[in-house]
Amino acid sequence: MTNLLAYRTALVTGASRGIGAAICRRLTGLGLTVYGVARSREALAEVVDTLGVVPVVADVRDAEAVVAGLGGAEIDVLVNNAGMVATVKPLYEQSAEEIAETIAVNLTAPMLLMRALLGGMVARKRGHVVNITTTAARGVLAGTSAYGGAKAGLAHACRSLRYDLAGSNVRVTDLAPGRVETEIYLRAFGGDRDRLNQTMYGSVRALQPADIAEAIAAVLMLPQHVDVTEIEISPTDQAVGGHVFKAPEA
């Protein structure tokens, strides 16, 4: 596949399924060599076998292990996609462990990976960081204080990075999706897929993982002097905070 971009390689966290797998598919289709991060080789089997993704078996919270798994590869595009929602309930009902894990995965892990990889991008004068945040970082979704707070921190870090990287030819994009049909809330729903689907996706034509991957491809393919710094992408049927207005019956 001919490389259509100014970049050669990409690192995608949370690559084994959902949005991460869709991003891997789109970027390999553009001719990039894609390194995919997940906690087990088995989880990565499909993207490795069907797309040729290079597996990086590591916990995303261990930036040193992720970098070691790259085997010295120079990364041009970092997609911080891995995220998790430990629970959906008032903050005072969440455990300290749930809050700490939520912040570690959604904020600390991407910050440490950016720290590890941005130096090389700056030195090569070539690079793009895409941080996948959420509309919950801007609006209010009930029961997501820790998740929304962590993602809001990551969104603000993107804005600060624009100052750090201005003039370096390294671009930064904060991509904030609304409701996407994935399993990110499955744990918060106690593993009950039917209840998750009925509650989250029953009345909304949710975004699909491929929609997010397409948005990323679009910003990567823009000329190097253009940086799309923030994108909010939402289902047509959904407003801020997850609100859905039900039109009168015809």
Distance of CA 46 to the CA centre of its chain: 19
Tell me which residue of 27, 37, 112 sits closest to 77, measured CA to CA: 27
Residue 80 zone, left/alpha/beta (φ > 0; ψ -120 to 50; rest):
beta
- Helix or strand holding residue 119 (H, E): helix 109-124
Burial class (CB in 10 A: 0-12, 13-18, 19+), 66: buried
Phi and psi, residue 147, nearest 5°:
-65, -50
Among 147, 163, 185, 201, the active-site one is 147
The reply to whether 163 belongs to the active site is: no
Tell me which residue of 178, 190, 207, 220 sits closest to 12, measured CA to CA: 220
Distance CA 159, CA 204 (A): 31
Catalytic residues: 147
